[in-house]
């Protein structure tokens, strides 16, 4: 059974009002992954509307998979949900996905990145952006297709990680051929859902926040089935999720405010 709640969230692009169906009983963390992703997508739609009003159009289209060569971070709840999704697929489709993951793992081992990604997944403390940056760059330099990519289309589109859903650009699509070297203009992300879910999991399990590289997600989730089976009341999970989301949004408001002040200051210096 579920109970419906009406919520209102203020985002940098406007007010988001929506309804949440919250399970009334005890459920695993994966129960809130879909609704949390939906909130993130609705918040991102407000950013997209604001961009269109400013004359900017989203360049991303079906079949454009240039960004599917990046190292994608996945929160523990998303990893558990992805394992559940893959395990219920028909045998032939699941076999293709597992074969793709093995091919990717072999390339990463050959290039000396596999153990570095495992260190990220198993880190007892969060890695800083400075620590992650060289690994991200080394991964992207391989131009290695996502293991879930088939014929330049996502084979797990309905279950794809939040990080994949959040990467939209307003710059010309051709620039995405080299996301690092070209002046790509991403759509601002008001709240990173993978980070929110990772923080929820850390709070519930009293562990360090972690993000797992996507090629390792199924393996990591399989090794942590006991943790994935833990349950909480639906209301407790939603409360945790909304708390982390509101904190993230507050920080985003602050960051954008600072950015505007810096921009105004630069204009003043450049135009005395």
Q: What is the pLDDT of residues 155-209, one digit of tens each?
A: 999 999 999 999 999 999 999 989 888 999 999 999 999 999 999 999 999 998 9
Please tell me the pTM assigned to this model. 0.91
Q: ∠ at Cα 252 (246, 255), nearest 5°?
A: 145
Q: Say what the pLDDT of residue 127 is.
A: 79
Q: Say what the pLDDT of residue 260 is.
A: 60
Spacing of C-alpha 36 from chain mean position: 11
Is 116 within 8 Å of 108 (Cβ atoms)?
A: no
- In eight-state DSSP terms, residue 19 is E
Is 14 within 8 Å of 52 (Cβ atoms)?
A: no
Identify the bridge partners of residue 10 per DSSP, sorted by sequence position.
15
The alpha carbon dihedral of 99, 192, 54, 263 has a sign of negative
Q: What is the pLDDT of residues 168-182, one digit of tens each?
A: 999 999 999 898 889
Residue 268, pLDDT above cutoff 60: no
CA atoms within 13 A on the CB side of 250: 6
Residue 39, pLDDT above cutoff 50: yes
Strands 232-233 and 26-27, sheet pairing: antiparallel
Neighbours of 133 (CB within 10 A): 11
């Amino acid at each position: 059974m579920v109970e419906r709640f009406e919520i209102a969230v203020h985002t940098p692009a406007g007010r988001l009002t929506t309804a949440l169906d919250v399970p009334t009983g005890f459920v695993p963390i994966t129960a809130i992954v879909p609704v949390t992703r939906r909130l993130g997508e609705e918040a991102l739609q407000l950013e997209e509307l604001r961009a269109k009003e400013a004359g900017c159009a989203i360049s991303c289209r079906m079949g454009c998979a240039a960004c599917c060569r990046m190292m994608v971070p996945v929160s523990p709840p998303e990893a558990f949900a992805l394992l559940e999704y893959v395990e219920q697929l028909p045998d032939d489709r699941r076999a293709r996905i597992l074969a793709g993951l093995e091919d990717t793992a072999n390339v990463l081992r050959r290039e000396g990145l596999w153990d570095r990604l495992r260190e990220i997944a198993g880190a007892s403390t969060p890695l800083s952006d400075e620590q992650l940056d060289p690994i991200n760059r080394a991964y992207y330099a391989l131009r290695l297709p996502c293991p879930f990519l088939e014929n330049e289309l996502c084979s797990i589109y309905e279950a794809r990680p939040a990080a994949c859903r959040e990467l939209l650009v307003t710059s010309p699509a051709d620039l995405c051929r080299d996301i690092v070297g070209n002046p790509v203009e991403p759509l601002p992300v008001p709240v990173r859902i993978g980070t929110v879910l990772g923080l929820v999991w850390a709070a519930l399990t009293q562990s360090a926040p972690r993000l797992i590289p996507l090629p390792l997600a199924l393996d990591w989730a399989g090794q942590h089935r006991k943790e994935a089976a833990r349950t909480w009341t639906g209301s407790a999970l939603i409360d945790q999720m909304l708390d982390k989301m509101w904190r993230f949004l507050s920080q985003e408001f602050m960051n954008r405010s600072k950015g505007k002040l810096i921009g105004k200051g630069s204009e003043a210096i450049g135009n005395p």
